[in-house]
Amino acid sequence: MSVWEYIVDLFVNVRTDWIEWLQGFNLASSLIILLDSLIGIILMLIFVFPIVIIFIWLERRFIAWMQLRPGPNRCGPFGLLQPIADAIKTLIKELIMPAKGDKLVHWLAPVVLFFSGLMLFAVIPIGKGHLGALADLNIGILYIVAIGSLSVTAIFMAGWSSNNKYALLGAMRAVAQLVSYEVPMVLSIVGVVLIVGSLQMSEIVGQQSYPFILVQPLGCFIYFIGAMAELNRSPMDQIEAESELTTGYFTEYSGMKFATFFLGEYISTLAIATIVTTLFLGGWKGPFLPVWFWFVFKVFAVFLVILWMRATLIRVRIDQIMAFSWKFLLPMALINIFITAAEVLIWDKWMSGWESFPWPFIFVNWAIAVVLILLWSKIFFKLGGGRVEVGEVRPGYSQGYGADLQAPVS
Amino acid sequence: MTELAFWVIAIVLVSSALAVVLLRNVFRAALLLIVCFFGVAALYITLNADFLAAAQVLIYAGAIGILLLFAIMLTRDLHSGNPFHRLHLPALVLSLLLLATIIGVVIGTDWTTISEVPQVVEMPLDEPTTSYIAIALFDQDNGFVLPFEIASVLLLAALIGAVVLVRREGKD
């Protein structure tokens, strides 16, 4: 094997050599599995943390560039050392604990969020075959959906234990929003699973001789927007809206605990970018260059789109954000499942030779996606864009959303 | 290895379950209940039931746990611990009856090994269960397609009913 061949699929080759080396020692098979997962976890962390640090730098510089300002440019060349300076600054800050809060839960919440994001990487394939992912589960996608629902618990723990009304309001919004967006998100994955016929991540990448965004434009669109809401990123960051809730559920967090929350959010963002890459953009597949290069390249492309949306779109109002999930994304996701199911049936019956590049389906699906989005958004805005009207305004009460819940204005 | 995993999981599971019942702080009890759900999922994994484990985490730890936390948050006077209760005697009788039933079932069951249990679908052990569950559930000859559909329609009706109930008619 030449050096180039070794580098092309670095992750898998390092792991294969490690397992072969371990097998020379006549160890018990369970011990080999344990040591193999150990090296897998280390390799994964080597992959995750540098990218997260670059993400933090990129977010500030890229958005600054979009908004025609210099951004952080004092620490090192191009401000590259800024994330490290920020990390040291937050580490040496005082840890403040609300007096009547739940200390244990307050301490535990960032840890839960951090690890629920990190656990997602276990099934993401960054190399060829079964060894490409840390654990190539048969239920890969289902595992991602299940672990992804954990972040709600962490946010809720933070909001509750802070004993602060802004934090609790943020947590309530978090539960409402995250639970709503999880439904269309999960349903949009079903299209991919129907085409592939497996929940296994390596299988999903293996069958993508063309990126699935071509046959699943609607699914990709819905998953991406749902993921933005799951990540509490602008324009869906109602949960931590600074101007209304003073950053919501982590109002009472400072120092290291705040940094852990912050890092956890970036890890989740990276996880979502890798999932979008794996499901819709062909994962590690790509011509000529090493597979890990293609993977990282696509992940960064997805992240830049996320940043682009943050830099250009304004925050959605809380009543609109719920309506957008239930009245816009959910019906579209259901329609997508119906169309994909019908196409899979047609595919199996009459089009056995089309697996490599089914251009009729690509054409039809893109046409359907564009027409549906245009038509549905027109209807959606005609019906008020999901605006919630709360009764009539009584004299002495302030006007607006939730006006009937407020105390009279004196 | 599996045995060691079983004992670790069992200790975590039983202690968290006990804590759920004994803790005065309802919020922490609910969090420990989520830990308990995770323990059950881990037990499923040691039994090679991968699909069931993921479904357990998704539905119980994800959905039902959050629902519980939400219900707790909307409950009043939480800082004084568990809600006040007066019905000590009926509660004692009911829980004793429940305990007796569980003990009766545990003693009465013939704990045979897996291979002797009548199987719905022929399935080798140590294999991914997803497709076999699908066959058992949706098989055209002896599957459960109709009950499955009826259950989903029932849930949908419950959902719509809940929406109708909380929706106010006209003014106030």
CA–CA min distance B142, chain A (Å) = 23
What is residue B119's predicted lDDT score, i.e. its pLDDT?
A: 58
What average pLDDT score do residues B73-87 get?
64
Q: Which residues contact B151 (CB under 8 A, 6 or more apart)?
A: none
What average pLDDT score do residues B129-134 get?
80
Residues of A in contact with B28 (CB under 8 A): 102, 104-105
> Would the ipTM clear 0.90, i.e. be above it?
no
B63:A392 CB<8 A: no
Residue range A110-138, pLDDT digits in tens: 888 888 888 888 888 887 777 777 778 88
Task: List the 90-129 stretch of B: residues with Cβ below 8 A of A.
Answer: 128
**B51 has a pLDDT exceeding 80:** yes
pLDDT band for position B114 (50/70/90)? Answer: low
Contact A304, A159 (CB under 8 A): no
Angle at which helices A150-161 and A140-148 cross, to 10°: 10
Regions of chain A short of the pLDDT cut 70: 1, 238-246, 351-356, 384-410
DSSP string spanning A337-368? HHHHHHHHHHHHHH-GGGTT--HHHHHHHHHH
Q: What is the DSSP letter of A123?
A: G
Q: Which of A176, A160, A153, A162 is nearest to A229 (CA)?
A: A176
Residues of B in contact with A105 (CB under 8 A): 27-28, 31
Contact A127, A292 (CB under 8 A): yes
B66:A105 CB<8 A: no
Report the alpha-carbon distance of residue A213 to residue A353 in Å, rounded: 20
B51:A139 CB<8 A: yes
Give the residue on A whose Cα is nearest the Cα of B59: A146
Give the residue on B whose Cα is nearest the Cα of A168: B73
A30:B1 CB<8 A: yes
CA–CA min distance B106, chain A (Å) = 31
Structure tokens at A323: 């309506």
CA–CA min distance A22, chain B (Å) = 18
Option in A139, A153, A391 nearest B34 (CB) = A153
